[in-house]
Amino acid sequence: MSTQMWNEILEQPAVLESCGRVNEKVLREIVTEVSRRNIQSVIIAARGTSDHAAVYGKYVIEYELGIPVSLAAPSIFTIYKKKLKLPGTLVIGISQSGKAADVLEVLKNAGESGALTVSITNDPNSPLATGAMYHLYCNAGLEKSVAATKTFTAEIFLIAQLVAEWGQNSLFKKELGQLPQNLFKGLDTDAIKMKMERYRFIQECFVLARGINYAVALESALKIQESTYVRAKAYATSDFYHGPFAMIEKDMPVIVYAPDGPSFVDVMQMIKRLKENLVDLIVVSNVNEAIELGNCNFKIPQTSNDLLSPFYNAVIAQMLACELAVIKGLNPDQPRGLKKVTITL
């Protein structure tokens, strides 16, 4: 079964290359304004998949720039009708459609309260794009599948580019420039389809990661939920020890994202403990030590940079969800009860 979701996953190298090129000028303009205003804090507003891009944004900004980042609570503006004091703050609104009413309300109030506002959308004519002081354009083309794939990686790519420009990190800029050509390097899509067959009948699973890849764990669980209706729940491995581990049972599927890098030692400890408890362990990694412990494993390209591995892991996460839906006889392009654009206040 050929699906739109799978086709859009495969478009991602071209999408990243094009959105990087299209936004070069505005990225420089934003950084100039950030410097002029001496920005000291960042708030990011988003929902759904874009909220997981915001989690990546929080980690990458704090890691690279040392600037504290918070995730907005839109209800403060939309339900409680309150104002925040935001001079010296950059407020970023992320929405694939650019029509997220609550995110738009956050940006509107932020601008009125003295903040610098930036939007990231896949529609340059959307309310969010025109309502912010600066707009970063995903330039991903029309995304027809309800499940967001190429727009998610475009969003985190634009955040990473903004951070690289802001921090004048030439090495990070170079690595991001090489990312489109490396995204599917060594990827065996046939193996993914074959390996997912064993999970045809699963009804629940956990998805784990640590650090910057926690954003991918969240997105991976969401993709599984909306595409396959499996009850998937994401945790940071550090949180999973504190109570949730008690839910582990023999043969329960657990997906662990374990890329090489600063988070690997902690994640590896969790993998070993899960193995001792006889779970059905699905490991996504580029480290043989972790891969060898998986009942099922998927290898990503080699990198020890936690800022880059989320892109590789996101592709695997999307493919696993898409293929599992097909194996279950479902259509991931049109999941029940969902629409492409969701409006919340």
Q: Please give the average per-residue pLDDT across 329-337, as a whole number.
A: 80
Known catalytic residue at 82: no
- pLDDT tens track for 144-157: 888 899 999 999 99
CB 135 within 8 A of CB 119: yes
Question: For residues 255 and 193, which has the higher predicted lDDT (pLDDT)?
Answer: 255
CB 164 within 8 A of CB 176: yes
Task: Choose the catalytic residue: 250, 299, 339, 340.
Answer: 339
Instruction: Please state which of the ranges 5-14, 211-220, 334-343 shows the lowest mean pLDDT.
Output: 334-343
Q: Please give the average per-residue pLDDT across 225-244, as a whole number.
A: 94
Q: Please give the average per-residue pLDDT across 315-326, as a whole number.
A: 96
Among 228, 221, 203, 225, which Cα is nearest to 324's?
A: 228
Among 85, 42, 320, 311, which Cα is nearest to 189's?
A: 320
55: exposed, middle or buried (C-beta count within 10 Å: 0-12, 13-18, 19+)? Answer: buried
Q: Please give the average per-residue pLDDT across 313-332, as a whole number.
A: 95
Whether pLDDT at 25 is above 60: yes
* pLDDT at residue 332 in the model: 85
**Residue ranges per structural domain of the chain:** 4-182, 189-327
Q: Which residues contact 165 (CB under 8 A, 6 or more apart)?
A: 27, 28, 30, 31, 173
Tell me the two tokens of residue 190. 């046939």
Question: Could you give the CA distance from residue 14 to residue 140 in angstroms, rounded to a whole number?
Answer: 9
Helix (H, G, I), strand (E, B), or coil: what is residue 157? helix
**Which architecture characterizes domain 4-182 according to CATH?**
3-Layer(aba) Sandwich (3.40)
* pLDDT at residue 335 in the model: 72
Report the run of H or E that residue 298 belongs to, with start and end.
strand 296-299
* pLDDT at residue 341 in the model: 54
pLDDT confidence band for 129 (50 / 70 / 90): very high
pLDDT confidence band for 314 (50 / 70 / 90): very high
Q: Please give the average per-residue pLDDT across 180-200, as a whole number.
A: 90
Whether pLDDT at 331 is above 60: yes
Q: Which residues contact 269 (CB under 8 A, 6 or more apart)?
A: 237
Instruction: Please state which of the ranges 52-56, 66-70, 182-186, 220-224 shows the lowest mean pLDDT.
Output: 182-186
Q: Please give the average per-residue pLDDT across 183-190, as a whole number.
A: 89
**Equal fold, 4-182 vs 189-327:** yes
Backbone angles phi, psi at 240, to 5 degrees: -65, -30
Tell me the two tokens of residue 6. 């799978």
* Amino acid code (one letter) for 81: K
* pLDDT at residue 146 in the model: 83
Q: Residue 77: CA atoms inside 13 Å, Cβ hemisphere, count?
A: 22
pLDDT confidence band for 2 (50 / 70 / 90): confident
Between the CA of residue 93 and those of 63, 88, 191, 263, what are the distances in Å?
Answer: 20, 16, 37, 28
Instruction: For the chain, give the percent of residues with pLDDT over 90.
Output: 88
- pLDDT tens track for 59-111: 999 999 999 999 999 999 989 999 999 999 999 999 999 999 999 999 999 99
Indicate the CATH number for domain 189-327: 3.40.50.10490
Among 197, 234, 215, which Cα is nearest to 306's?
A: 215
Helix (H, G, I), strand (E, B), or coil: what is residue 340? coil
Starting from the edge strand earliest in sequence, which strands make up the sheet with 134-137, in order? 69-71, 41-45, 89-94, 116-121, 134-137
First-residue to last-residue Cα distance in the chain: 37
CB 74 within 8 A of CB 45: yes
pLDDT, mean over the chain: 94
pTM value? 0.95
